[in-house]
Structure 1
Amino acid sequence: MGDSVTVQAVLFDLDGTLVDTVLDLGGACNMLRARRGLPPLPIDDYRPVAGRGSAGLLHVAFGMVAEDPAFPALCTEFLDIYATCLADHPCPFPGIPALIDTLRERGVPWGIVTNKPHRFAAPLLVSVPLAATAAVVIDGDSTANAKPHPAPLLEAARRLGIPPQACVYVGDEERDIVAARAASMQAVAVRYGYTADPAACDGWGAHGVVDTPSALQNCLLTWLTTVATQ
């Protein structure tokens, strides 16, 4: 990031960046397997694809691709199960609560921009106490286009009343970085999330790449300026 840029807000992707939700995503897949007489898979089998939505998760669970004629019905069943358990085990990644506390102490507004549909995002965020301090939440139903389109990020900046150029967006998938750059925001890629190939983050064009939430905090603190609490 250039030294002339003043960062006034920080926006985060949800799953795999701010909150670890793989226990419930994988758990829903395993419940679906159990209905078919199949044993559960290790939760870590789902972690590298958790950011790819139903298509990635069901491919691991059943070896099924989205083009399979049976996929839509299986996907609907999976989502219905997930809706019943999505608030069971979501947990901020270690170090994220401290990072959010630091942003709040400095008066820096923060927010969430996720492709997760409102049906799932809203109850999930209710179950994560730190989400109550977010200044803005944009979910998959807030704009006509989802990431990697820049529209959700631009809408977040608009609601905050802060120029996109003064925002940082943090995510664990390439689409997050593509969206941030298209929105003229500073982009930070994190390797600790659901990225299948952490080394690939270096090729996404992010302004920064970090391995841990503590490294993310150090990265952001070099860019942030204290602003008046909104």
Structure 2
Amino acid sequence: MPMTIPDAAERDSTPLSPADFDAILFDLDGTLIDTAPDLLFALNRVMAEENKPPLSLAELLPFVSGGSPAMLQRGFRVGPDEPGFAALKERFLAIYRANVARSSRLFPGMETVLGHIEAGPLRWGIVTNKSAWLTEPLTAALGLDRRAACIVSGDTTEHLKPHPASLLLACQRIGVEPARCLYVGDAAKDVEAGQRAGMKTAAALFGYLTPEDKPEEWGADWLLSSPGALADWLATKTPR
């Protein structure tokens, strides 16, 4: 399960102000959308086909941020360079693509966050390492493609996070300066990418962290305990 940082409540009282930003960018899986149930569904389908016992959601969560290689390695104990991995990955992703929005939803409180942003002067977008052929049907099914100012997928540029290219492209598409953006993500690579792009960063403690993660050491400007804390920040400080 996602770990809890003892001083998270104190860090929610961030000195950052919405007035300092023109846009807020979000990672997708584990930050904006809780996609783990559908990833678990797809993985367990493949495991059943291979006569392996299913995993629980708690068993899968620490591996979601690592993408399909990490999840398949957890389920099948097989690495990307081992025989059979490519076939397992193809089957897993095909099942996931067909069920990409079966149970995936915005994290509780995120609709309020987006509502506050859309009611004020800020804009918002998505920057994810997820490939476009998976990102696009998911965001379309949840109606986010019509609301986001930009959506940058993992294969939109030549580089994945922690390289800053996708974040910088998002700024270009929205028409804002990186220094006027806040990037919210649940992995060290998200914070690093934001920092390298020249943005302020928030570590989403409610996301898919592993027991080994130490987000207090990532250097984020804000340790964000919940979407509700972000909504409160926007509601009380965003100029109208």
Report the TM-score, using the length of structure 1 for normalisation: 0.91
Matched, 1:205 2:216: no
Instruction: Judge conservation of contact 1:154–1:183 (CA < 8 Å) in 2.
Output: yes
Alignment of structure 1 residues 33-112 onto 2, 5 Å: 33-112=47-126
Aligned length: 226
RMSD: 2.0
Quick check: 34-43 or 46-55, which moved more? Answer: 34-43
The corresponding residue for 1:166 is 180
Q: Choose from 195, 217, 235 the match for 1:181.
A: 195
Quick check: 50-59 or 170-179, which moved more? Answer: 50-59
Aligned letter for 1:200?
K
Residues in 1 aligned to 2:179 and 2:237: alpha-carbon distance in whole angstroms: 13
Quick check: 158-167 or 73-82, which moved more? Answer: 73-82
The corresponding residue for 1:20 is 34
Larger RCO (CA within 8 A; separation ≥ 6): 2
Aligned letter for 2:148?
A
Instruction: Judge conservation of contact 2:117–2:234 (CA < 8 Å) in 1.
Output: no
Q: Choose from 122, 132, 136 the match for 2:136.
A: 122
Quick check: 68-77 or 111-120, which moved more? Answer: 68-77
Instruction: Judge conservation of contact 2:203–2:215 (CA < 8 Å) in 1.
Output: yes
Q: Choose from 202, 207, 214 the match for 1:193.
A: 207
Aligned letter for 1:204?
W
1:153 deviation in Å? 0.3
Q: Secondary structure at the match of 2:62?
A: helix
Any gaps of 5 or more consecutive residues in structure 2?
1-14
Instruction: Judge conservation of contact 1:7–1:223 (CA < 8 Å) in 2.
Output: no
Q: Secondary structure at the match of 2:151?
A: strand
Cα deviation 1:170-219 (Å, max 9, x = unaligned) = 00010000000000001000111111138611110100011111112345
Aligned letter for 2:41?
G
The corresponding residue for 1:149 is 163
Any gaps of 5 or more consecutive residues in structure 1?
none
Aligned letter for 2:58?
D
Residues in 2 aligned to 1:208 and 1:76: alpha-carbon distance in whole angstroms: 37
Q: Secondary structure at the match of 1:129?
A: coil
Q: Structure 2 vs 1, CA of residues 222 and 8 (structure 1 numbering), >3 Å: closer, same or farther? A: farther
Instruction: Judge conservation of contact 1:65–1:71 (CA < 8 Å) in 2.
Output: yes
Residues in 2 aligned to 1:217 and 1:2: alpha-carbon distance in whole angstroms: 14
Residues in 2 aligned to 1:46 and 1:56: alpha-carbon distance in whole angstroms: 9
Q: Secondary structure at the match of 2:125?
A: strand
Residues in 2 aligned to 1:220 and 1:187: alpha-carbon distance in whole angstroms: 15
Greater than 4 Å deviation, 4+ residue runs = 219-226
1:60 deviation in Å? 1.7
1:55 deviation in Å? 1.2
Identical amino acids, percent of aligned pairs: 36
The corresponding residue for 2:229 is 215
Instruction: Judge conservation of contact 1:115–1:147 (CA < 8 Å) in 2.
Output: yes
